Amino acid sequence: MAKEKDFVKEITPQSEDFSRWYIDVITKADLMDYAPVRGCIVFKPDGYELWEACQRELDRRFKETGHRNAYFPLLIPESFFQKEKEHVEGFNPELPWVTQVGDDNLEERLAVRPTSETIFGYMYSQWIQSYRDLPLLINQWANVVRWEKRTLPFLRTSEFLWQEGHTAHATAQEAEEETKRMLEVYTDFCETELAIPVIQGQKTPSEKFPGAVATYSLEAMMKDGRALQAATSHYLGDNFARSFDIQFLDKDNERKFAHTTSWGMTTRIIGALIMVHGDDRGLQLPPRIAPTQVIVIPIGPAKTRERVLTAADAIVHTLKVAGVRVKMDASEDNSPGWKFNEYEMRGIPIRLEIGPRDLDASQVVLVRRDTGAKEATPIENVAQHVQDLLTTIQNSMYETALAFQEGRSQKVESVEALHHVVREEKGFALAGWCGDDICESQIKNETGATSRNIPFSPPATMDTCVVCNQPAKHTVWFARAY
């Protein structure tokens, strides 16, 4: 047998250095590599398969709600950004520009897409003429460039992948309903597929999307107690419609401006997936999103290899027919123990072991990645048992994440208490806010926490502002965030 590789090297414990743990995991699990361009990464196959799985489940949901996919240009004329003042001011610090082709200077600078409201707005003004053209429901899968000063793989990179939905409607009510409907789609995806509990709510004015009337978000808690914005959905009112002259002839024969929305989720959701579920052994992937749900590992001496492999092949076939995403590692280069560690680190939900003694007993051994629990099951029942166990693991991972989030969330009535929760106990703080930007800024300056959102369903209602003690207009979640 070829010389055995080293066992999986130690991963920095989360309690010792969470940031180092994160980098260790994404590199050792072979999800990405650093690109030669500052702030950019290469998605390696294992990492890109996670994004493909997210795309598959999101795309299905989008199409079920009537949306269709299209693709718009990467380059956007500078004049488009000038039409919506608040929008360009919000993005200008991060915008890369194309100014020259060969030796020739362009007559007009072209921005490399940071988001696509402007180009959608221009095209919608060409396509929408009558109320019969509405609603217009389009989604785009694309890459985006924002020249970030501080970067972290998957979470914040100079170029990232995402989807962005852009819709146009006849009335404000229809557009607002669309905005919240898509937030529900994201919620269902996060909680059902990723086993990530999220908090729905509205962003404060200082945190809303540039040019939006209202921004709604999903906030998730990572294992270091920080928040990560999982998705956003924006009601744009008729701001972009007026800027780009998106008008239509209504049923009453009057020309009116359309009401538009935009909403998106990016590859930072992969970072969330890692930081919500991962542990000191590496990744933990929820079964519904895991590209490989079961890894089959044949074990035993060489003299039994042919017999064991024949049985393992049959089991792999049975699982595939049952719709389970399964792979087998029958390589002879590494020992079973090395493989156990390797696939634990890669987060595959179930390890299926089969050896000569198992065959004699007509059974296999199933090992859960989330708990490490082992159990034997008859070969004849393996497909049903694996499917049931995958469901159990999925539900258990969600409940574990929810219990962690709830255990690290507290209501506070002073800035000192808020500071203690977010800095010392490393969690979320629920506080009252008077609505004044000055008080919100003071919290950020003194604690490093930002307002995450004004939750639709807060666990409690706070009566006074945590800063000035005046009557609270809103109950808000605050946290340090990625």
CATH number at residue 106: 3.30.930.10
DSSP letter for each residue of 239-296: HHHHHHT-EEE-TTS-EEE-EEEEEEEETHHHHHHHHHH-BTTB----TTT-S-SEEE
Same domain, 357 and 214: no
Whether 151 and 81 share a structural domain: yes
Residue ending a domain, choose from 359, 392, 425:
392
287 in any annotated domain: no
Residue 372 inside a domain? The answer is yes
Q: Same domain for 272 and 305?
A: no
Check if the beta carbon of residue 440 is closer than 8 Å to that of residue 451.
yes
Q: What is the mean pLDDT of the chain?
A: 95
- What is the average per-residue pLDDT within 281-295? 98
CATH of the domain at 419: 3.30.110.30
Same domain, 140 and 268: yes
Q: Per the domain annotation, does 193 fall within a domain? A: yes
Domain count, the chain: 3
CA 78 and chain centroid, separation: 30
Q: How would residue 87 be classed by pLDDT, with cut points 50, 70 and 90? A: low
Q: Residue 43's pLDDT band (boundaries 50, 70, 90)?
A: very high
Whether residue 198 sits in one domain with residue 93 = yes
Domain range enclosing 109: 18-277
Q: How confident is the model at residue 92 (pLDDT cuts 50, 70, 90)?
A: confident
Which one-letter DSSP state was computed for residue 197? -
Query: Residue 367 has what pLDDT?
Result: 98
State how far the Cα of 32 lies from the Cα of 430, in Å rounded to an integer. 36
Is 288 a domain residue? Answer: no
Asked, for residue 7, whether it belongs to a domain, the answer is no
Q: Domain for residue 283, yes or no?
A: no
Region label for 469, one of left (φ > 0), alpha (ψ between -120 and 50) or beta (otherwise): left
pLDDT exceeds cutoff 50 at 2: no
Asked if 238 and 133 sit in the same domain, the reply is yes
Q: Which of 392, 423, 448 is at the close of a domain?
A: 392
Is 7's pLDDT higher than 60? no
**Is residue 8's pLDDT more than 80?**
no
Residue 152 lies in a domain: yes
Q: Over pLDDT 90: what percentage of the chain?
A: 93
Query: Do both 353 and 433 map to the same domain?
Result: no
pLDDT tens readout for residues 117-168 = 999 999 999 999 999 999 999 999 999 999 988 999 999 999 999 999 999 9
The CATH number for 302's domain is 3.40.50.800
The whole-number pLDDT of residue 82 equals 84
Helix (H, G, I), strand (E, B) or coil at 131: helix
Is 326 in the same domain as 374? yes
The per-residue pLDDT for range 441-470, each reduced to its tens digit, is 999 999 999 999 999 999 999 999 999 999
> CA-CA distance, 133 to 129, in Å (whole number)?
7
pLDDT band at 81 (very low <50, low <70, confident <90, very high): confident
The C-alpha torsion from 213 through 180 and 224 to 342, rounded to 10°, is -130
What's the pLDDT score for residue 149?
86
228 plus 364 within the same structural domain: no
Give the mean pLDDT of 304-327: 97
| 198 has a pLDDT exceeding 50 | yes
Q: In terms of domains, do 199 and 258 share one?
A: yes
Q: Is residue 360 a part of any domain in this protein? A: yes
Q: How confident is the model at residue 107 (pLDDT cuts 50, 70, 90)?
A: very high
- Same domain assignment for residues 310 and 370: yes
pLDDT of 5 > 60? The answer is no
- Residue 297 pLDDT > 60: yes
Pick from 362, 392, 422: which residue ends a domain?
392
The whole-number pLDDT of residue 3 equals 41
210 lies in the same domain as 298: no
Residue 353 has pLDDT above 80, yes or no: yes
Q: How confident is the model at residue 9 (pLDDT cuts 50, 70, 90)?
A: low
